[in-house]
A and B are shown apart, each in its own frame.
Chain A
Amino acid sequence: MTTTSALYDSLVKIVGKDFVSDQKEERYFYARDGGLMPPHEPDFVVMPKTTEEVQEIVKLANREKVPIVPKGAGLALTGLVIPQLGGIVLDMNRMDRILEVNEKAGYVVVEGGTTHGALKSYLQKHHPNLRHSIPDSPPIATIVANAVIHGQGRLSQQHGFNSDMVSSLEVVLPTGELCRIGSCSVSSYWFSKGPPLPDLSGLFLGWFGTTGIITKLGLKLYPCKKMRDVMLFLTDKAELVPDIMLRLSHTEMVEDVVVSAQPLPLRFRGTFWIMAYITGDSDEELEFKRKMVWDALWEYFESRDVGLLSTSPEMKAPLMSMPSKDLTRFADVSKGGGFQYAGPITPIEKFPAFIRKLEEVATKYNVFYASTARLIDAGHCMMFSFSFSFNRANSDEMARAKKALDECSKFALEEGGVLWKADIYEQRLLMDKMDPNTLVLMKKIKQLLDPNGIMNPGNWEVK
């Protein structure tokens, strides 16, 4: 085993002195994220600029059997980039180029550290007719990391998970080879991550960086209409929410459907805010879509179970912003700088049960809660967030929030949901419940790709 000092020298040789740190301050910061998982320090933080540098670092790590954890912005909040066994954290932020936009085929190719914010800005400036599915995480979230955790965004109701919108990959394998996945493996075009070839993208998406490091990614782009609006509905009947969501999706006119609930301010308590986003290239198109949405819910308006909330421009502005700063502000509700959520992916019929559980758990552990549910892929499922804010200066409150999260995750799993961006403990819950042969397959894949077990160890580890 090479000494730590020799490893440091080797890393400096690859990326330059300015982009390697073994100092306490970087090790402290990169040991944790904004959530509730216990910290663990890396030995080095390294920031490559090129794919070749990533390859060299991976080869070095593989040779020396040093753990390596690729990191985007570290916003998953479930500790997925906390280096459980130390080693190298590979901060991808310097690989931030937008390499190509193919307007006619509707995709963009970006480097592994490109942020959603940068892509949004770039498209608005250079390709205003196109857009991508922006998640509600802060703009520093990277496109690759969001795809790797199967994130969702503002176009998920229409087009599925953000990872479904991936249209090709370039990956550095755990043994250092460079590999192209999808149409870009046989063509200069990055339009498909799989079809008509065997879809190998599944070897990397959802694996939390345990099977390779994505250095380039193709992402599908969609029409950016000239106008956009949100229709805001209210109901106090949780049991109606699944049907309302389905009716909205059935119109095929709505790009995004989000349902939120929170107990404070008091005027919000007991109500569910249903936001339906529509777009159009003309007033006529927008008005037609408004009417379709209106008609879809007419029965509920007549029974007075659902009401339309008239919104001022000031009220609409935060709802329309992408990403939504309001979601980030939830971290400061208890003036404490912390929130985390369990966000199971689940059939939408579970909404009433999940809301009841959220309120029960929040009362039990005396923690502040909120929930946002987002419709995915025309109603095939939703992401339901059990969100709890906490004060980072109050260890007791943090412990209660963690217990609340754990209880919600277990409940969601029992109810047939699948935990999203599961932390290492939740991954064990999932694997305990998983079909044994699926587990064997996962283990074989992992061993084949990463024989020395260097990639983000602790995550998706089949015992």
Chain B
Amino acid sequence: MQKYVSQIHRCFRCGYCKFPTDYSSFNCPSYRRFRFDSYSTGGRLWLIYAWSKGEIEWSEHLAEILYACTTCKNCTEQCPMKFAPDIVDWIVEARNDMVEKGKIPPRVARFFEAVYGYGNPFKQLRSARAAWANGTKRYASGDEYLLYVGCLGSYDENGQKMARSLVDILNASGISFGILGEEEDCCGNEIYMLGEAGLFQNLAEKNSQKFKELGVSKVVTLCPHGYNTMKNNYPASGGNFEVYHYTQILSDLIQKNKIKPSRAKAKVTYQDSCFLGRYNNIYDEPRQILQGIPGIELVEMERNRKDAFCCGGGSGNFVTDLLAGSVDSPARIRAREAYETGADTLAVACPSCLTMLTDAAKAEDLDDKLVVKDISQILKELLSAR
């Protein structure tokens, strides 16, 4: 057991963690999905404490409760206690202990096996990692940016569309960049959050070393998850480079008039990614891109920015899917909320959000009324239309 054991009893189970700031609804994805207190952050912390003291035995149900947390950090945002910043770390450390003991849900075990064996959670061949790239230039010494695409961008159908759109925009802007192609490996963000500290360390060191050997000084990521881990976890593993999420780059390009999208006609709402927003305080740049497109009316969902409701895909749930199977699955709730704004387009800035919400819109029979698109796709279409 790790250091969290000496702290975790401090949770008073007051329940603030379940809410957004205005208490209007439940903002903890797993509590909203299952509604048993055991699935709230307070419940999870009390159960972890009970497990650490031997008051309850490990069970698959306990592990599923622990892994149903998407690490969205709503609890960290809302908890009134001084230990609030540590809550997600405690959950991750408890997962570390479960991993060390080999006691994890089968779906999570398969996630690890896939990344370990294939370098991605989908068990796709490494040789197919750049199948989406369509001749995109490989990173070479002297390029300003390494575009790190990530597993979803490389293998997931929606993610691939994002990646192609972003590449086209970057090419049009004249920025010098390249990708790693088949040489790219998993970033490890989900591995870290799921508690496989050893595998994460291996990935972080390997990626950091590779970037160093290639002389990479600036990385731009397609995915907020990769952005988060490279910015916040890699420095401790030897990562020494600047990292940007692509929305930061595109926002800057628009503000400097280096890309000029044509006029659109759309009412758009935006889903904050947890790993951009609550983790890294990037709320404005995605909105600046959308607001920089003439003809787009940006409308906010009631829960937005630090109160945004997670799509349910974080912490590997875009694969393990422990919150699926209900009208109360977070992504389906979020798709309904987006539709209620009157928007015709739900914009995202994350491949995990894109795939979760695209599926959710279909499940809600909203796919002909609400288009789910990444910001890169929206922008690419308007650049093509010029």
A392 within 8 A of B: yes
Closest to A117 in B: B23
A178 CB to closest chain B CB, in angstroms? 24
By the criterion of a CB under 8 Å from any partner CB, how many residues of chain A are at the interface?
44
> Please, how many angstroms separate the alpha-carbon atoms of A410 and B62 in the complex?
41
Closest to A121 in B: B24
Are B9 and A124 within 8 A (Cβ)? Answer: no
B22 within 8 A of A: yes
Are A118 and B25 within 8 A (Cβ)? Answer: yes
> Please, how many angstroms separate the alpha-carbon atoms of A21 and B64 in the complex?
14
A125 within 8 A of B: yes
> Please, how many angstroms separate the alpha-carbon atoms of A184 and B212 in the complex?
74
> Please, how many angstroms separate the alpha-carbon atoms of A66 and B59 in the complex?
27
Are A139 and B36 within 8 A (Cβ)? Answer: no
Closest to A318 in B: B80
Closest to A389 in B: B12
In the bound complex, residues from chain A placing their C-beta under 8 Å from that of B65 are 25
Are B80 and A30 within 8 A (Cβ)? Answer: no
Are A335 and B25 within 8 A (Cβ)? Answer: no
Given contacts A29-B46, A332-B83, A337-B9, contact A138 B22 (CB under 8 A): no
Are A335 and B10 within 8 A (Cβ)? Answer: yes
Are B10 and A24 within 8 A (Cβ)? Answer: no
Counting chain B CB atoms within 10 Å of each CB, which of A26, A29, A47, A328 scores highest?
A: A29
A34 within 8 A of B: yes
Given contacts A34-B13, A139-B19, A328-B14, contact A25 B61 (CB under 8 A): yes
Are B35 and A138 within 8 A (Cβ)? Answer: no
In the bound complex, residues from chain B placing their C-beta under 8 Å from that of A28 are 38, 46-47, 50, 55-56
Mark contacts of A96-131 with chain B using CB atoms, 8 A cut-off: 1 yes-contact digit, 0 otherwise: 000000000000000000010110111011000000
In the bound complex, residues from chain A placing their C-beta under 8 Å from that of B14 are 34, 75, 138, 140, 328, 331
B43 within 8 A of A: yes
Are B16 and A328 within 8 A (Cβ)? Answer: yes
B82 within 8 A of A: yes
Work out how many contacts link A and B, with CB atoms closer than 8 A.
Answer: 111
Are A29 and B15 within 8 A (Cβ)? Answer: no
Closest to B13 in A: A34
Task: State which residues 290-327 of A face B: CB under 8 Å.
Answer: 325
A216 CB to closest chain B CB, in angstroms? 19
In the bound complex, residues from chain B placing their C-beta under 8 Å from that of A121 are 22-24
> Please, how many angstroms separate the alpha-carbon atoms of A280 and B59 in the complex?
56
Are B36 and A118 within 8 A (Cβ)? Answer: no
Task: State which residues 35-78 of B face A: CB under 8 Å.
Answer: 35-38, 43, 46-47, 50, 55-57, 59, 61-62, 65
B79 CB to closest chain A CB, in angstroms? 9
> Please, how many angstroms separate the alpha-carbon atoms of A24 and B38 in the complex?
10
> Please, how many angstroms separate the alpha-carbon atoms of A28 and B57 in the complex?
11
Task: State which residues 67-99 of B face A: CB under 8 Å.
Answer: 80-83
Closest to A24 in B: B56
Are A25 and B62 within 8 A (Cβ)? Answer: yes
> Please, how many angstroms separate the alpha-carbon atoms of A346 and B352 in the complex?
57
Q: Which of B11, B24, B35, B47 contacts A25 (CB 8 A)?
A: B47
Are B59 and A25 within 8 A (Cβ)? Answer: yes
Are B47 and A29 within 8 A (Cβ)? Answer: yes
Are B24 and A122 within 8 A (Cβ)? Answer: yes
Counting chain A CB atoms within 10 Å of each CB, which of B9, B13, B65 scores highest?
A: B13
Mark contacts of A56-77 with chain B using CB atoms, 8 A cut-off: 1 yes-contact digit, 0 otherwise: 0000000000000000011100
B18 within 8 A of A: yes
B130 CB to closest chain A CB, in angstroms? 42
Task: State which residues 32-52 of A face B: CB under 8 Å.
Answer: 33-34, 45, 47
B141 within 8 A of A: no
Are A117 and B19 within 8 A (Cβ)? Answer: yes
Closest to B33 in A: A18
A404 CB to closest chain B CB, in angstroms? 18
Closest to B12 in A: A331
> Please, how many angstroms separate the alpha-carbon atoms of A33 and B46 in the complex?
11
Closest 4 CB pairs of A and B: A117-B23, A140-B15, A331-B12, A325-B80
Q: List 29 A-B contacts (CB under 8 A).
A: A18-B34, A24-B57, A24-B61, A25-B56, A25-B61, A25-B62, A28-B38, A28-B47, A29-B47, A33-B13, A34-B14, A73-B15, A91-B37, A117-B19, A118-B25, A121-B24, A138-B14, A138-B15, A138-B16, A325-B80, A328-B14, A328-B80, A329-B80, A332-B10, A332-B12, A332-B83, A336-B10, A339-B12, A393-B9
Contacts A24-B62, A332-B82 supplied; 8 other A-B pairs, CB < 8 Å: A23-B61, A25-B38, A34-B14, A74-B37, A138-B15, A329-B80, A332-B10, A338-B12
B: which residues have CB within 8 A of A? Answer: 6-7, 9-16, 18-19, 22-25, 34-38, 43, 46-47, 50, 55-57, 59, 61-62, 65, 80-83, 326
